[in-house]
Amino acid sequence: MNLPICLLLILISVLTLSCAPTYVPVKPEPLYINAMIYAGDTIKVTTKDNKDYEFVVVEITEDAIIGETDKVLINNIHQLQVVTESSGEKTGRRSAVTILTTLDILNSTINFINGDF
């Protein structure tokens, strides 16, 4: 895959993110959780046993995301989404992580196409 196509895919991804729905997906791994979720954020979680939660985050520990009445272990998360915000420091960090995730996906796709998997 050549550079112009990669740049076009990145541009499309970034433009799509600017029109994203209210919730954006977060990779359920500590690095992404710590970069994109903060106390006070509203999140949606689906666990590996198909239980759905939606709550405001009170605290994030090494192994769990904690709300007022809910606690979800990070290693039990199947799908995680966070409410987007229109401005502020959090949005900048979230955008950077989203772009890095998009680049990671593009790199994996290119490796797959080239048979390097």
CATH code at position 68: 2.30.30
Give the domain range for residue 34.
21-98
Mean pLDDT of 23-31: 86
Q: Which residue matches tokens 């994996």?
A: 108
Is 14 part of a structural domain of the chain? no
Q: Which tokens go with 89?
A: 């420091």
Q: Is residue 77 part of a domain?
A: yes
Residue 87, pLDDT > 50, answer: no
* DSSP per residue, 39-77: TT-EEEEEETT--EEEEEEEEE-SSEEEESS-EEEGGGE
Structural domains of the chain, count: 1
- pLDDT of 14 higher than 70: no
Share of the chain above pLDDT 90, in %: 35
Convert the pLDDT of each residue in 28-84 to its tens digit: 998 889 888 989 999 999 999 999 999 999 999 999 999 999 999 999 999 999 887
Give a yes or no: residue 35 inside a domain. Answer: yes
Q: Check if the beta carbon of residue 44 is closer than 8 Å to that of residue 53.
A: yes
Q: What are phi and psi of 62, to 5 degrees?
A: -60, -30
Q: Which of 20, 19, 36, 14 minimizes the C-alpha distance to 80?
A: 36
Closest CA to 91 of 31, 46, 30, 24: 24
Q: What's 3's DSSP letter?
A: H
